[in-house]
Amino acid sequence: MAKDTTKKLTSGKPMSLILKFSLPLLVGMLFQQFYSLVDTMIVGKFLGVESLAAVGSTGAINFLIIGFCMGVCSGFAIPVAQRFGAGDYDSLRKYIANSVWLCLIFATVMTILVSVFCRQILIVMQTPANIIDQAYDYIFIIFVGIPVTYLYNMTSGIMRSLGDSKTPVYFLLLASALNIVLDLLFITRFGMGVEGAGYATVIAQFVSGFSCLLYMKAKFPILKLASDDWKWDNHYIATLCHMGVPMGLQYSITAIGSVILQAAVNNLGSDAVAAITAANRIAMFIVCPFDALGSTMATYGGQNVGAMKLPRVKEGLKAATILGLAYSIFAFVLLLFAGKYLLLLFLSAEETAILADAHLFLFIQSCFYFPLALVNIVRFLIQGMGFSIFAIIAGVMEMFARSIIAFTLVPTLGYLGACFASPFAWIMADVFLIPAFFHVYNKLQRRFASGVAL
């Protein structure tokens, strides 16, 4: 019999479990950010500034669409985590089978729609005429690869919901390394231009997703699906949509707020855009632990609610909050004293004004990293507990907060106003999420007290 690599988070010390589960996720996220940086460098170095701008101009719409795919798959994995925690493996298998049907439908519809309207989307986004053709060539390939995005995110999400956070990271590392190799091969050897970068991304993600699928088949005995498991079931479909669609929309709604803010920042001039771009590249690495904590709490919450162990949910929240606070302090000190030196990785020392602005941006944001930690911890924990609709509301709060800053503080305070956009969004989300946690906790407490399981 194949060795079972699942792991339950329903017993043991929450602090230790959360740390062990989140560390592999953190490694994967850091490597993914590193790959993204190298990928950008390859395009810029070998294809030139216009090609780099073309790929960069698709970032917002890429996150808007691909983020929805990632969110949906994360939501589909929550009922799997709950049933695994409850030991209800029959329902677990039915959830997985029905999630496959939904992924096929979602991937097909989304691929057709965004591929057909791809150029129109770029035109609406006012993509400059000199780069729109290259932008289209790149993002069209990425959008055609949407089914592959679903494949990797669904398989990796299922593995994490069963307590295996390491294996998806291994395949992510494989995909990232393969992506870099293919980038160099397609662009420098075959002269494929930005299309080469698109093909490299899709192929690498397919290899990663397919590898996850093969691994699951070999190493997860409880996932041996029978013919009855594959029957379309409206109850399971409804539950999966209730979990997945709100999480997908939360990613997309958050992206809309970022797009609105970016438009306001663009009006401040190229120096302001350069400062914030450089600062965000550093921040993307620095905030990875918060993302890892969030993903961990979704699985932790799902398994423990499924096992009807609500007190462990609060214990996990406390442990994750302590970890988030400790790292927030560390990140603040790091950026306070080393931020300027880290920015020199992207900016010239001669650009003193831009460096100062970028460091100011990092400093102000780092002062509010603890609210960011809470956003990730509490939001994903609530989602794991089965209340994904709150993800949409929290996302709307963030979108409104960034929009308010974009339309009020940026025009009046300029660059300084832009620095406070994300902190304001995080605080607004926390104002909603913290009371929401206690609401859903008390609701589940009453439900379990009456003897009704999920």
pLDDT per residue as tens digits for the range 353-399: 888 998 999 999 999 999 999 999 999 999 899 888 887 888 888 88
**Mean pLDDT in residue range 247-265:** 76
User: Left, alpha or beta for 231 (phi > 0: left; psi -120 to 50: alpha)?
Assistant: beta
Cα dist from 363 to 12, 288, 323, 332, 343, whole Å: 37, 17, 21, 7, 12
Q: Please tell me the distance from the alpha carbon of residue 253 to that of residue 69, in angstroms, as a whole number.
A: 13
CB 332 within 8 Å of CB 366: yes
The pLDDT score that the predictor gives to residue 1 is: 39
Q: Which two tokens stand for residue 347?
A: 């900016």
CB 86 within 8 Å of CB 95: no
Q: Please tell me the distance from the alpha carbon of residue 342 to that of residue 441, in angstroms, as a whole number.
A: 41
Q: Please tell me the distance from the alpha carbon of residue 14 to that of residue 317, in angstroms, as a whole number.
A: 9
CB 133 within 8 Å of CB 53: no
Asked whether residue 267 carries a pLDDT value surpassing 80, the answer given is no
The pLDDT score that the predictor gives to residue 381 is: 95
Q: Kindly report, residue by residue over 203-240, the tens digit of the pLDDT.
A: 999 999 999 999 999 988 888 899 999 999 999 999 99
64 versus 435: which is more confidently predicted?
435
Asked whether residue 28 carries a pLDDT value surpassing 80, the answer given is yes
Asked whether residue 443 carries a pLDDT value surpassing 90, the answer given is yes
The pLDDT score that the predictor gives to residue 252 is: 79
E strands in 218-260: none
Asked whether residue 200 carries a pLDDT value surpassing 90, the answer given is yes
Q: Please tell me the distance from the alpha carbon of residue 65 to that of residue 71, in angstroms, as a whole number.
A: 10
Q: How confident is the model at residue 132 (pLDDT cuts 50, 70, 90)?
A: confident
Q: What percent of the chain has pLDDT over 70?
A: 96
DSSP letter assigned to residue 202: H
Q: How confident is the model at residue 405 (pLDDT cuts 50, 70, 90)?
A: confident
Give residue limits of the domains in the chain. 22-232, 250-449
The pLDDT score that the predictor gives to residue 449 is: 86
Asked whether residue 264 carries a pLDDT value surpassing 70, the answer given is yes
The pLDDT score that the predictor gives to residue 5 is: 60
Q: Which two tokens stand for residue 291?
A: 């993302």
For the chain, what is the mean pLDDT?
88
The pLDDT score that the predictor gives to residue 2 is: 46
Q: How confident is the model at residue 432 (pLDDT cuts 50, 70, 90)?
A: very high
The pLDDT score that the predictor gives to residue 270 is: 66
Exposure string of 179-213, with b = 16+ CB inside 10 Å and e = fewer, is bbebbeebbeeeebbbbbbbbbbbbbbbbbbebbb
| Residues 6 or more apart whose Cβ sits within 8 Å of residue 135 | 54, 55, 57, 58, 122, 127, 194
The pLDDT score that the predictor gives to residue 36 is: 74
Diameter over CA atoms, the chain = 68
pTM for the full predicted model:
0.83
160 versus 346: which is more confidently predicted?
160
Q: Please tell me the distance from the alpha carbon of residue 32 to that of residue 177, in angstroms, as a whole number.
A: 10
Q: Which two tokens stand for residue 55?
A: 């790929």
Q: Please tell me the distance from the alpha carbon of residue 424 to that of residue 408, in angstroms, as a whole number.
A: 13
Single out the residue of 310, 303, 316 nearest to residue 85, CA to CA.
303
Q: What percent of the chain has pLDDT over 90?
A: 49
Asked whether residue 40 carries a pLDDT value surpassing 80, the answer given is no
Q: Please tell me the distance from the alpha carbon of residue 348 to that of residue 265, in angstroms, as a whole number.
A: 21
Single out the residue of 218, 179, 220, 219 nearest to residue 199, CA to CA.
179
| CA angle centred on 441, ends 440 and 442, rounded to 5° | 90
The pLDDT score that the predictor gives to residue 262 is: 67
**Amino acid letter, 340:** K
The pLDDT score that the predictor gives to residue 438 is: 95
Single out the residue of 67, 152, 78 nearest to residue 110, CA to CA.
67
Q: How confident is the model at residue 275 (pLDDT cuts 50, 70, 90)?
A: confident
